[in-house]
């Protein structure tokens, strides 16, 4: 009898997976891509996943156009007729815009959003309400960081922040960007820190408290309520940064693995 060592479970996801990152450059300085760890975890389980980079700070329509180019390249390289899209944070808004504008039901097999601010975030409003002299300096630094990580397109942190406010998302974006018939939309949310029994990373406590006072329980960047969209699969208690394995607490490591296995299994069960 041949003895074999334990091997990772294979998740037979039918189509390739495009992983779309959100707003920010923090992960870009420590990993090849903000979703690199997630991508490697999926590949470990047999999923053909891709985690490319686009401009980290830009308006939704600019980022949407970049994702469209990448989608085309993945389909060309893999010869796949369709692609599953898993979008994290602001990336979910980019993808909703992309599939709506170009009516991509024939090529996008599914859209899964992870802690995306589908109803905006009060954190964006807090940033924009900072005294102008401080805000301008912070935006200049942010754009400089963005241009260093992704020099192909000039960063526009201010333009992106304005589009992430609750007013813009609810009064403009959500009224114009509707779901595309034929594409299933799934979502995952998260809540930790204030108002929950789960710890949150120390650097996120200030943001966590601000959002809690305005929107309720949240992951440090996006409220649980704002992240619910389409077919809501389940919440987690990982912080916004822990989801992409930044500052992942020891006691949350099992949940990180379990969470991303659930995301893969969702596509398997949906035969996508």
pLDDT of residue 95: 99
CB neighbours of 172 closer than 8 A, spacing ≥ 6?
A: none
DSSP symbols for 50-107: E-----SS--HHHHHHHHHHHHHHHHHHH--S-EEEEEETTHHHHHHHHHHHHT-TTT
What's the pTM?
A: 0.95
Spell out, as residue ranges, where the chain has pLDDT lower than 70.
1-5, 25-30
* pLDDT tens string 67-112: 999 999 999 999 999 999 999 999 999 999 999 999 999 999 999 9
Which tokens belong to 174?
A: 């959500």
Residue 145 has a pLDDT of: 85
pLDDT of residue 29: 62
CATH class of 17-265: alpha beta
Sign of the alpha-carbon torsion through 102, 181, 71, 255: positive
Name the residue ranges covered by the structural domains of the chain. 17-265
- Say what the pLDDT of residue 30 is: 67
* Nearest to 117, CA basis, from 63, 55, 182, 168: 168
- Provide the pLDDT for residue 105: 98
- pLDDT on residue 1: 52
* Structure confidence at residue 220 (pLDDT): 98
Q: How much is the pLDDT for 186?
A: 99
Region of residue 102 (left: phi > 0; alpha: psi -120 to 50; beta: else): alpha
């Amino acid at each position: 009898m041949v003895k074999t060592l334990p091997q990772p479970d294979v998740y037979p996801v039918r189509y390739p997976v495009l992983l779309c990152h959100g707003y920010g450059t923090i992960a870009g300085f420590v990993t090849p891509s903000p979703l690199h760890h997630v991508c490697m975890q999926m590949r470990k389980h047999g999923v053909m996943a891709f985690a490319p980079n686009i401009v980290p700070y830009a308006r939704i329509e600019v980022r949407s156009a970049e994702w469209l180019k990448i989608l085309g390249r993945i389909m060309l390289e893999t010869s796949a007729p369709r692609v599953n899209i898993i979008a994290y944070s602001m990336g979910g808004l980019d993808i909703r815009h992309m599939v709506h504008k170009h009516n991509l039901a024939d090529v996008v097999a599914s859209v899964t959003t992870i802690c995306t601010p589908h109803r905006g975030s009060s954190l964006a409003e807090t940033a924009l309400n900072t005294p102008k002299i401080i805000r301008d300096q912070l935006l200049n630094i942010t754009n400089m960081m963005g241009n260093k990580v992704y020099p192909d397109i000039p960063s526009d942190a201010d333009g992106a922040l304005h589009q992430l406010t609750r007013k813009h998302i609810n009064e403009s974006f959500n009224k114009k960007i509707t779901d595309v018939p034929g594409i299933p939309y799934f979502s995952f949310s998260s809540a930790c820190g204030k108002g929950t029994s789960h710890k949150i990373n120390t650097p996120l406590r200030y943001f966590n408290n601000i959002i809690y006072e305005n929107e309720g329980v949240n992951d440090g960047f996006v409220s649980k309520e704002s992240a619910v969209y389409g077919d809501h699969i389940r919440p987690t208690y990982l912080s916004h940064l822990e989801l992409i394995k930044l500052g992942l607490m020891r006691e949350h490591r099992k949940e990180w693995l379990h969470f991303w296995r659930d995301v893969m299994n969702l596509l398997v069960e949906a035969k996508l």
